[in-house]
Amino acid sequence: MYRFLLWIPILVLLGTGYTYGQAGAFKVKGSIDTASVKAGRYLDRAKMCSVQEFVKMYIAVGDTVRSRKWGYTHLEKLYQDATFAYYGQVKSGGLLMTFFKVPASDLSGLDYKTLDYQTLTKKFMEEIFPADDRKLLGRKKGLNNCWTANEMFDFIYHPDKKQLEVAYHWTVDCNYRSKKIRKHYTALYDPASKQFVK
């Protein structure tokens, strides 16, 4: 459910020519094919992307995205030199929709492909979300007419610690109440051990 809600704005952005919620910041102008980039050409056209933006982007959409406009596209690492790793969102035929570079030193030691949205959010809800708060909804007294009005996850990667900060924002609405319940939970996740830091 969480992933489905996240996909709606992403698909809208893709359908209007924007990508990854970056307002087209990494969109390719003109035609560039992946074979040329893999041969080391057109590297000057890659837009700079911080490792924090890259991790957030990867968690949101993963390797593959499907849109009405472009069909299936996939994220691919195309080239790497001593300074940067070059990535692109590739559509059928090998043409690039987006093209960006991430500092190679910031990606060192980070297995970003293990950062899956569904896995992370499920693990967070099972291990971090307090058991007492799970009981808030459906009580016979007090909050029996309450429901989750809004929930949102946010992810911030800290390259200095090599840890991912996971934040969960939860809003509850109740019938006959004018006040909403708003709660925020935060935890650090270690991608290397695939565990939350206790």
Encode the chain (198 residues) as per-residue pLDDT tens digits: 544 444 444 444 444 333 344 435 677 766 788 999 999 999 999 999 999 999 999 998 888 877 677 678 889 999 999 999 999 988 877 788 889 999 999 999 899 999 999 999 999 999 999 888 877 665 555 555 677 778 899 999 999 999 999 999 988 777 655 667 788 999 999 999 999 997
- The confidence score (pLDDT) of residue 47 equals 95
Are residues 35 and 144 in contact, defined by beta-carbon separation less than 8 angstroms? no
- The confidence score (pLDDT) of residue 114 equals 92
Parallel/antiparallel/unpaired status of strands 84-90 and 96-103: antiparallel
Are residues 196 and 124 in contact, defined by beta-carbon separation less than 8 angstroms? yes
- The confidence score (pLDDT) of residue 181 equals 78
Greatest pairwise CA separation for the chain in angstroms: 66
- The confidence score (pLDDT) of residue 43 equals 94
Question: Which phi and psi (to 5°) does residue 148 adopt?
Answer: -75, 115
Residue ranges of E strands in the chain: 47-48, 64-67, 71-80, 84-90, 96-103, 146-158, 163-174, 181-190, 195-196
- The confidence score (pLDDT) of residue 16 equals 35
Parallel/antiparallel/unpaired status of strands 181-190 and 163-174: antiparallel
d(CA 96, CA 163) in angstroms, rounded, equals 30
- The confidence score (pLDDT) of residue 12 equals 41
Structure tokens at 101: 């570079």
- How far out from the chain centre does Cα 165 lie? 12
